[in-house]
A = this chain, B = another copy of it.
Amino acid sequence: MDFLLEILVILIVAKIFGELLEQGGFPAMIGEIGAGILLGPSVLNLISPSATLDLFADIGIVALLFISGIEMNLRSFLESRDAAIVTASAGVAVPFIFGFLFGQVFGMTTIESLFIAITLSITSIGVSVRTLIDLKRLNTPVGSTIISAAVLDDIIGILLLAFLASIAATGSAATEKLLLTVLASIVFLVAIATAGRRAIIWVFDHARRTETHEMVYSAAIIIALLSAYLAHTAGLHYSIGAFIAGLILSNQIREDHMLFDSLMDFGFGFFVTIFFASVGLLFDFSLETFTSPLVLPILILAFAGKIVGGFLGSINFLDRAEALMVGIGLSPRGEITLVVAKVALAGGIIATGLYSAIMIMVIATIILSPLLMKRVFSFFEARKERVTEPPPR
């Protein structure tokens, strides 16, 4: 199929499915991912992942995280810093330990056990962010703790993956590569927090004073993409760079309503939809997939690990209901897990049964986490209202 036609079909089906889900009271994102599953190899087999679609999806995740950085702003992010560090650490450690022990108990190899451990540790920041935006909860203590923790979680996860790769390869070259990744990530984070921050603000302010009418818009997109690209080059995920760029430009962009709306349209009206549909394209399951005996245990471990970890990590900073929501909010796994599992399957590191279980786990956490979050949010809010109501005489 012609690329332009692929983009068109994806947009049309994803938007219709998203709208149907939204009318039913569910997040549009689930419909968009569903559209990808329908069009992808498992069902209709009309569209396959490709480098071109990946580029659109990458711009989509960059737009999504850039926008959430803008909505959150640097101050809320820094305020939730301590909570985020503890939450991210516990939110990675608990599912990691659960996963590793599970593998060992079931007699898997060390590499397979480590693989399960890491798979269970990486939150899909895209799904968490989109859910919080859809539920209008991004700028709450729970929202900023989830996002900040998910960002750190993403950084830890990528280092863990580099670690796994170095173990799988063994030898001093692999260890050197691991150290290099850690070093490059640190350099990127320090650079963008210091000189990078000043450079971004300088470029953006200058873009305002140009003759070209759309320059501020172009500048915002260029800054987001460049920052994402540099993060990626340093070994991190695109989303980290885009998110930090959004935090840095938050105040300037929020002052300019037209610009902010236009960027929202660029993201949610086009590229972000393609991103979620392309996550759906990554699934390729048949009836056999569901019969793997590992499906249920992995799914339970996935939720239990993140909910326990997120709860324990944030309980010192939030109340119990909020800490529970943080745990649920960190539960979705996504495209990174899927891609890693595909590579591991192709490389013979894991067997088909485990691959299937991970795929089902990813889709189940993506669908169930937003629904659970919505429920829990409204449940605790209703209770809060009851509690603060004046007692009947």
Contacts and interface: CB of A to CB of B under 8 A. Distances in A.
A55 B22 contact: no
A35 to B, nearest CB: 13
A109 interface: no
Contacts of A211: 19, 22-23
Contact of A212 (B4, B15, B55, B225): B15
A276 B192 CA distance: 32
Contacts of A59: 4, 7
Contacts of A229: 2, 4-5, 8
A123 interface: no
B58 A221 contact: no
Contact of A221 (B217, B219, B262, B269): B269
**Which of the listed residues A52, A212, A232 has the most CB atoms from chain B within 10 Å of its own CB?**
A212
A222 B12 contact: yes
A41 B215 CA distance: 27
Contacts of A228: 4
What is the interface of chain A mostly: helix, strand, loop, or mixed? helix
Sorted nearest first, the 7 A-B pairs with minimum C-beta distance are: A214-B269, A217-B269, A22-B211, A262-B265, A217-B265, A214-B268, A52-B52
B270 A221 contact: yes
Given A7-B59, A11-B222, A262-B265, 12 more contacts: A3-B51, A4-B55, A4-B232, A7-B55, A11-B218, A15-B212, A213-B264, A217-B270, A221-B270, A265-B265, A265-B266, A266-B266
Contacts of A18: 212
A32 to B, nearest CB: 10
A213 B262 CA distance: 12
A3 to B, nearest CB: 5
Contacts of A268: 213-214
A360 to B, nearest CB: 28
A7 B221 CA distance: 11
A59 to B, nearest CB: 8
6 contacts: A2-B229, A11-B221, A11-B222, A19-B211, A22-B210, A214-B264
A205 interface: no
A255 B4 CA distance: 29
**Which of the listed residues A5, A19, A214 has the most CB atoms from chain B within 10 Å of its own CB?**
A214
A79 interface: no
A59 B3 CA distance: 11
A4 B214 contact: no
A269 B225 CA distance: 14
